[in-house]
Structure 1
Amino acid sequence: MENTIKGFTRANHVGITVKNLEKSIAFYEALTGTKVSNIDEIGGPRMAKTQGLNDTKIKYANLHLDNLNIDILEYVIPESEQASYSNNQISAMHLCFEVDDINAAMERLKEIGIEPEGEPITFQEEDGLQSGFGTAVTYFRDPDGTNLEIIAPQGPFKRKNH
């Protein structure tokens, strides 16, 4: 089926709701080595309606990666509630950072005090895959518990134009 609607082949950003904007800015800047491009505030009834809310006030920052932006959002109105998702729960999502060297990425995590969920693995035949051997992955969480992943992709996990 041909894609007749333009624009659904690119992602612009992922939004991550956090408890404390300043703390999360420090985390994501340290993790990515990239500074946020701006910090601002948005809200009011018009914005709230786009999200099914009556009113909203959101403090936010934008972080521009090479191929995706991260919107870091602290909801002031209504106050955010803590959610916790494991990767196997329906509607859980995660953000995956692509790296060239999984070991260097693990060192970076250690430098900023992040413990991964487990040691990284490199996909092998016994993992049940038909392809993608040599791809390395590990999972970790941000300070608010957001599921994050690191991948050093091979085979079909590697994007064609990268």
Structure 2
Amino acid sequence: MIRGVHHLAISTPDLERFVDHYQRWFGFERVGGGGWEVGNDRIDTMVGLKDSTATYAFIRLGNLHIEVFEYASNDPVEVRPRMCDRGITHLCLYCDDVVAEYERLSALGMHFHGPPGEGTLRATYGRDCDGNVVELLQIAGPECTFQFHDLAVA
């Protein structure tokens, strides 16, 4: 039986820079990490790569865990998906005040596609330090059918 989501994973060219940004910008905390060296056949089979080597960190914010990888081998392809591309297109972070977070993160250097909108669902899309899309969302009205309190927060 599937019980829920454990984590999502993101690959980055600079693990420490990425983790630092997510700690300072969004309030994540580092909760673990590790890595492997070339010659680990079990992991090579799992990730579908030959002679892979990487370091990783687990970071957490509330009930969301992200496993961040920095591969030191293989030829990474830089991917900057557009919102219409197939696959995972963005990470959404819930905010109490999306305008305040937009202003705070803009001052820290985060680039946004535009300012937050008005209405019941207030949201904006920006880019993290690697160009991944991060949405900031505030649900401002009780009439919205998907409230943050509907989520199990540990």
TM-score by length of 2: 0.85
Cα deviations by residue, 1:130-153 (Å, 9 ceiling, x for unpaired): xxxx11110011121111111112
Shift of 1:46: 0.7
Question: Is 1:113 equivalent to 2:109 in the alignment?
Answer: yes
Q: Which residue of 2 aligns with 1:137?
A: 123
Maintained 8 Å contact 1:135/1:157: no
Distance 1:38 1:51 in 2: 20
Given the superposition, is the C-alpha separation of residues 42 and 157 from structure 1 closer, same or farther in structure 2, using an over 3 Å criterion? farther
Maintained 8 Å contact 1:84/1:145: yes
Residue type of the partner of 1:47? I
Q: Which residue of 1 aligns with 2:34?
A: 40
Runs of 4+ in 1 over 3 A off after TM superposition: none
Q: How does 1:80-119 map to 2 (within 5 A)?
A: 80-119=76-115
Structure 2 gaps, min length 5:
none
Distance 1:28 1:161 in 2: 22
Shift of 1:85: 0.5
Q: Which residue of 2 aligns with 1:57?
A: 53
Maintained 8 Å contact 2:56/2:68: yes
Corresponding pairs, count: 146
Moved more, 64-73 or 38-47: 38-47
Structure 1 gaps, min length 5:
124-133
Shift of 1:83: 0.9
Residue type of the partner of 1:38? G
Maintained 8 Å contact 1:14/1:71: yes
Distance 1:161 1:89 in 2: 27
TM-score by length of 1: 0.81
Maintained 8 Å contact 2:35/2:56: yes
Distance 1:114 1:99 in 2: 16
Question: Percent of pairs identical after alignment?
Answer: 26
Question: Is 1:15 equivalent to 2:13 in the alignment?
Answer: no
